[in-house]
Every structure is written in structure tokens, then in C-alpha cells.
Structure 1
Amino acid sequence: MKFKKVTLMALATLLLGGTVAYGATNEVKAVFTNLKYKVSGVAWTPSAKNSPKPVIINGSTYIPISVITEATKTNIAVDKVSNTLIIGERANSTPLNKESIKFKSRVGYSQNPAYTIFDDKNYEEVIAAPGISYDAEATFYPNKKYQTLTINAFVIGDKGDTAEIHLVNSATNEELKTIMLEPDTGITSTEVNVAGVSEIAVRFKSFDGVDFVVLPTSQYK
């Protein structure tokens, strides 16, 4: 996902307020301000009840990163190791299974060749939800570190069967994406904006008894 330079410059100004001495820890005096927000011309309020307030320091206004992330759907994170502010996607992708995943009934890892082999390629281990005639659920934990999640998935069933994967922000109940799948249509690759999202409820839904398969090529970035 790419972002225009003007957007990044605006974000940097809002977050950093002007000149910043990197690597230095200085005590400063800040004044809280009851700043109101508008997003694309429409009045907007952060979803968190105790959302941090903007502050004014030496005449410059500083907006909390969490507020900017939610308002713009742009991931903003601090890499403490390199002391770097990351805006948008990370340079390197992280496999989905490298972050925490919690499985509920009827969903889990599988090494069943019926699921791991697709178009003569063996994926070794996949996430599978077999024989779903209503729904099944898992939880992914991006922990507010990423901009996007790419889901690579397919379903096994009969022609005409329908299947959906719903990805929901557990904190706000916002539907992040609904992925529509059909048997015999190949692998579906879907990009989901997960900026500012800590926990994702993943709901596999079908009334036709299909098998859902999520490939290990799914990744965060």
C-alpha cells in the first residue's frame, strides 16, 4: 500500500509538531487542549472513551498517534530497537502464523494433504476449518503493529456452495472485510487494512458444509 508524500508530511507535522531532537530525553511542559476533529469535512470523535488528548508544547500541537491511526486508517508505530517511527506498511512482511492465533472449535492447523496440496504445490501446514455448515471462529492478533493483512484462502466443496470469511475488529466490532469464496475458483488473495487493530475476530461462515483453508502465505505488512 502506497501513500502520497503530502499525506506523510501532514502526518509528520501533526505527530512531531516541528523540530524534534531524536535520541534525546528532555522534560517538557505540555498543555492539554480540547481540540475537535474533522475527517474529510465530517465531525469525528475517537472511538476509545478515554482517548488521549492533544497537547500544546512551545506553541506546537501534538496529536496522539492512536488518534491519527484511527482517523486515517494509517499504521503508525515506533520501532524501539531502531528508534524509528514507521508510517504505513513495514519494509518486510511477517507470516500470519508468526503472530499469535487463537483457535476455537472446528478451526486449527492441519497437515492433511487434502488441504495442504493445491495445484501440485505442498504448503506443508495450513489453517483449516473443515465441514462448516454454520460457522467457526479464530482470533488473529496483529497487536497494532501493521498496516495490512493479506489473506490467501480457498474452499473445498461442491459447485454452487457459498462461503464467507468475516474479519472484525474485536475492540470496536467494526467489519474490516468480508471475503466471498466459492469452490473451484482457485486461491483468493484479499488485502485487509488492519491499522490500529489489536485483535481480529475471524468468522468462517457457510451453510453448505465446505472446508475452509487459509494458506501460510498469508501475511502482515
Structure 2
Amino acid sequence: MKKKKIVLAMTALLMLGGTAVYAAAPQIKGTIQNFKYVLNGKVWSHSGKPILVNGQYYLPVSTVKEATKTNITIDKAKGTVHIGEKLKETPILNEQVKYYNTALTRDDAYTGDFKEVILTKGSLPSVYLFPQGKYQTLVLDICAIEKDATIVIKNKDTKEELKSLFVSQDITEQIEINITGMKQVEVEVQGKAVVYPSSHYK
């Protein structure tokens, strides 16, 4: 097995409620291992290589994140590694949103208990969300109006369809979907619908 020597700046990790806190980073030697990955019984290709340090194997964050669909983000400023969902919910309108045949409206015919909502209009409207890989889960609160609608959620980066859901008229549905690692998500509405600002990331 071909091995390559490297020097790593390893951090001492203290696991605390899904968040790791690190201290000083001493330099130690490690060896890259050219192992093959098997994911759920099938050969899986990933560029990240395991590293052997003092008898223990370490996997790159990107490898673990993609294989387990668990979001892992590193906050260098605070010195923390966040693993999994955020405890605090972040409204989708707190992050970048773009609209195609949709718009924010304060029309009280649609807002209900909210100040403003996202209202679809025109042909094949879409809402483009930009979680930028910071979150594990997207929760959408959405209601079809005037008639039944179909909601199609896509990973905009890969064009992969993540979920397609039929929504009955005047029934508010809550859609929850794993968006680990995704930078852009498209919510396509086949029909007319309202997306409520209670929709959030976590």
C-alpha cells in the first residue's frame, strides 16, 4: 500500500452537545492511507483520504459530511465545530432568497397571522434559497391556494430532485428535507401557493 508522510496541525476536540471546542494545535505526524470507501455496501468514490495518527484513523470532514448526510461546519472565529442541526432556527428570509414568478406580499388576503409571505404567480414559479452549506435541514411551511399544487424541491447545484409533494388546496403542509452541504435549493411550485416566513433552516 502506497503511503505518503505528512505533518498535521491536529486539534484537541471536546464533544459538547453536538459542538466541538478546540484548544491549541500542536503539530504531529500522520500518514495518508489509500483506502477505498464502501458506503452502505457499495463502492463509493471520494477524494478525501483517511489519515493514520498514533494508531487512530481520521477522516476528512467533507468525507464524513457527504457519507452520513450530517452537516458539519467550522467557525474559526469562535473556535467551534458544529455537528448536525442548529439548535436555533434561522428563518429562510434571513438568508439570500431569489424569486422567479414569485414575490413577497403584504396582501392580507394571503398573509394570515404574518406580516408578509411569499406568493407564487405566473407560470412555473420558483423560490431559490441559498443555505450555502451552513445547515442540515430545511423546513418549509407552504399552502396551495385556489387549487391543488405540486411542490418540487431540487438541489440547484446538482439539479437533483430531492422531493416532490402533492399539496391539497387550503391545507398548510410542513415539508422537512435534509440539505446537508447544499449551497442552493430550488422550490418549484406547479400551481399557486403561499410560502410562510415560519419556514426555516436548522
TM over 0.5: yes
* Distance change (3 Å), C-alpha of 1:34 and 1:172: farther
* Distance change (3 Å), C-alpha of 1:39 and 1:52: closer
Read off the aligned partner of 1:20 and give its amino acid letter. A
Structural RMSD (CA)? 2.1
> Unmatched 5+ residue regions in structure 1?
1-17
**TM-score w.r.t. structure 2 length?**
0.82
Distance 2:135 2:66 in 1: 13
Which of 3, 12, 21 is the matching residue for 1:20? 12
Contact 2:99-2:128 at 8 Å conserved across structures: yes
Which of 53, 58, 65 is the matching residue for 2:61? 65
Q: Which runs of structure 1 show a deviation greater than 6 angstroms over 4 or more consecutive aligned residues?
A: none
Distance 1:137 1:128 in 2: 10
Distance 1:128 1:19 in 2: 47
Which of 126, 129, 138 is the matching residue for 2:127? 138
Aligned position for 1:204: 189
Aligned residues with identical type, % of pairs: 36
Aligned position for 1:86: 82
1:115, CA displacement in angstroms? Answer: 1.6
2:192 pairs with 1:192: no
Contact 2:150-2:167 at 8 Å conserved across structures: yes
Name the one with the larger strand percent: 2
What is the SS of the residue equivalent to 1:114? helix
Aligned position for 1:32: 32
Aligned position for 1:116: 111
* Distance change (3 Å), C-alpha of 1:195 and 1:112: same
Read off the aligned partner of 2:136 and give its amino acid letter. Q
Which of 134, 146, 159 is the matching residue for 1:173? 159
Aligned position for 2:4: none
Read off the aligned partner of 1:215 and give its amino acid letter. Y
Aligned position for 2:18: none
Read off the aligned partner of 1:205 and give its amino acid letter. Q
Which of 95, 102, 114 is the matching residue for 1:99? 95
Aligned position for 2:136: 147
Contact 2:12-2:23 at 8 Å conserved across structures: no
Aligned position for 2:119: 128
Of structures 1 and 2, the one with the larger relative CO (CA 8 A, separation 6+) is 1
**TM-score w.r.t. structure 1 length?**
0.75
1:53, CA displacement in angstroms? Answer: 3.0
